[in-house]
């Protein structure tokens, strides 16, 4: 009986010591929210021409900043890439898109068009498709409708509890907005 108590005490002591190992006392790494100063949309038209439109957060704008107006042709199709930057320190600009791709399970983009007709499709490859097979929206295709003027509101969502891609513009539940920008859009003949 005495040996049984000693063995039981030894097991409990060993378990306690193991649970207090230095690995458990290490600080938890917390993913801090990145500063997003700029959002750019790169448009590749049907003939391979590229146009880039960049939005800069008001607190980081230069005095000569001019708000971009996206100019698209009616009836044309464009391949569009979204990129996110931290240029708060111009000496060390950071492309944040790669981090968004690495953390694709935690990110999702939505596109909201007003006053213009754009048929959007998600065209993300493996680097921007989450582990549930959901394309997060960094790569899209835009088929442009009738001429007119309107706006695009683009949102980068962090940790949505549900990512909805039907319709392709996207919607979500839960999560927080990491970035929200609006672009003026003109659709010409």
- What is the model's pLDDT at position 33? 64
- What is the model's pLDDT at position 24? 44
The 10s digit of each residue's pLDDT in 24-61 is: 443 333 345 679 999 999 999 999 999 999 999 999 99
- What is the model's pLDDT at position 21? 40
- What is the model's pLDDT at position 140? 98
- What is the model's pLDDT at position 51? 98
Taking the C-alpha atoms of residue 151 and residue 178, their distance in angstroms, rounded to an integer, is 20
- What is the model's pLDDT at position 34? 77
Taking the C-alpha atoms of residue 12 and residue 118, their distance in angstroms, rounded to an integer, is 66
Domains and CATH numbers, the chain: 28-188 (2.60.40)
Mark the ranges of the chain whose per-residue pLDDT is less than 70. 1-33
Taking the C-alpha atoms of residue 178 and residue 32, their distance in angstroms, rounded to an integer, is 11
105 φ, ψ (degrees, to nearest 5): -65, -25
- What is the model's pLDDT at position 14? 40
Taking the C-alpha atoms of residue 74 and residue 146, their distance in angstroms, rounded to an integer, is 5
């Amino acid at each position: 009986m005495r040996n049984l108590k000693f063995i039981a005490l030894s097991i409990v002591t060993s378990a306690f010591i193991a649970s207090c190992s230095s690995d458990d006392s290490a600080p938890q790494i917390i993913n801090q929210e990145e500063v997003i100063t700029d959002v750019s949309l790169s448009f590749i038209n049907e003939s391979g021409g590229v146009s880039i439109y960049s939005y800069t957060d008001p607190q980081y704008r230069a005095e000569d900043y001019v708000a971009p107006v996206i100019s698209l042709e009616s009836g044309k199709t464009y391949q569009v890439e979204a990129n996110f930057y931290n240029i708060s320190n111009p000496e060390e600009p950071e492309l944040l898109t790669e981090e968004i791709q690495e953390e694709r399970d935690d990110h999702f983009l939505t596109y909201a068009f007003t006053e213009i007709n754009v048929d959007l499709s998600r065209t993300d490859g493996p680097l921007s498709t989450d582990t549930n097979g959901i394309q997060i929206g960094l790569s899209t295709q835009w088929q442009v409708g009738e001429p007119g003027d309107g706006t695009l509101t683009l949102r980068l969502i962090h940790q949505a509890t549900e990512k909805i891609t039907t319709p392709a513009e996207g919607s979500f539940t839960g999560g927080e907005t990491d970035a929200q920008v609006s672009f003026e859009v003109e659709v010409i003949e």
